[in-house]
Structure 1
Amino acid sequence: MNISQAERDALYKVIYSRRDVRKDFINKAIPQDVIQRILAAAHHAPSVGFSQPWDFILVTQEQTKQAIKRGYQAASAESAKLFSQEKRDTYQRFKLEGILEAPLGICVTCDRERNGPVVIGRTIKPEMDLYSTVCAIQNMWLAARAENLGLGWVSIIHDQVLRDTLAIPERLEIIGYLCLGYVSSFSEKPELEQFGWLPREQLDQLVHNEKWTDKSK
């Protein structure tokens, strides 16, 4: 099955306009068929040994979101202390989550025992199932953008908070908590790039031919 030029262009448009959305969520319900398409896109991600190790916990209740928000606030205060004073002030001005504002939260887990102790592709690199689950999140992110939905990954939270709040068994690895919803607008650039937190690296400095070379000198 060949991809048309219009389809190719649409894919690149989605890739380049994808954003990690933490604000500007609006009070608009997400239709169930849209949620199902996004989850199906995640479920069609590549997975090591076709293991499909992921699960998706959907969060809509306010009480649950409040508990997760409190976990974020504690972890964010803890994280702020790790930055220099100048960076800390900037960090604390950022809005880095939309836990309460987004109509839907999705916690993505990885079941490392799902297909037994020996899985094709994990015999030498056992962490490949974790990477597979991240691929599922990336599929979800791109599908969300194609549906004109914002998605943000909340990484500033301890796993135990999510484990306790969402009754996640100890045997499952928690990969990410995502905030999903319609937004008033999408930024032209990623916010941290836009605000000068860090510059975008030049691609030609990251590409090596045949052997890795130190391009920092």
Structure 2
Amino acid sequence: MSHRYPDPEVAAVYRAIYERRDMRHFKPDPVDEAVLARLLAAAHQAPSVGYMQPWRFIRVQDPQLRLAIHALTREEQGRTAQACGERAELVRGLKLEGILECGELLVVALPEGREAYVVGRRTMPEMDLCSAACAIQNLWLAARAEGLGMGWVSIYDPVRLDQLLGLPAGARTIAVLCLGHVDAFYPEPMLETLGWDRRRPMADLVYQDTWGRAVPTP
């Protein structure tokens, strides 16, 4: 008995993976409530170490709060530019978020009390972050399948964002997600188009048995 999906369904999964983009340009059209519910349900199906389910999604609907989050990202973009030396001007000119334009703004946080989850985290406590990242990726791929764009924003002062959102002690934000309708999906990652970097060959990133040992070619 084969557990493989039918060919069209397999192709759809791979298509969503290959066409997903970190989007920065959005239309202001609202996201349908039923679609948003499906996306959050997809996120909640993510695997988690020790079954801790450490993702918390905060839906930002207050316009003033959205403006305040945007201000945090603009401040950090300036600081990041300063830290990039000779590439500072390029960084200042990059569009790294779509907070004011996107139809939905979500903030993802890790909850307090995560230290109570020991299985799978005793020697690797960062697995709470990895688990939440799986939930974000689920949402991202589901959004692409629904025809919506999403962008993961990480240029902000997390302590100030935590305070802005009233997080309890021990909790912390890990992502600002811009979600919404787009005119078009980028044909390739935006930073690749702009010459910031390029996608590395898989042969440089996959090793066999020991670090740096290339996989033998057939």
**Structure 2 counterpart of 1:178, which letter?**
L
CA deviation profile, 1:35-71 (whole Å, cap 9, x unmatched): 0111011100010011111110001221111101111
**Conserved 8 A contact 1:18-1:142:** yes
User: Cα RMSD (Å) of the superposition?
Assistant: 1.5
Unaligned 5+ runs, structure 2: none
For 1:1-217, what aligned pairs fall within 5 Å after superposition? 1-23=3-25, 25-85=26-86, 87-111=87-111, 113=113, 117-213=116-212
Note the C-alpha offset of 1:118.
4.2
Q: Percent identity?
A: 42
**TM-score normalised to structure 1 length:** 0.93
Paired residue type of 1:21: M
- Shift in Å, 1:214: 6.4
* Aligned residue type for 2:97: E
SS of equivalent to 1:36: helix
Q: Verify the 8 A CA contact 2:162 2:172 in the aligned structure 1.
A: no
**SS of structure 1 residue aligned to 2:27:** coil
Which amino acid in 1 is paired with 2:43? A
Structure 1: gaps of 5 or more residues:
none
1:185 corresponds to which letter in structure 2?
A
Structure 2 length as normaliser, TM-score?
0.92
The amino acid across from 2:105 in the alignment is: G
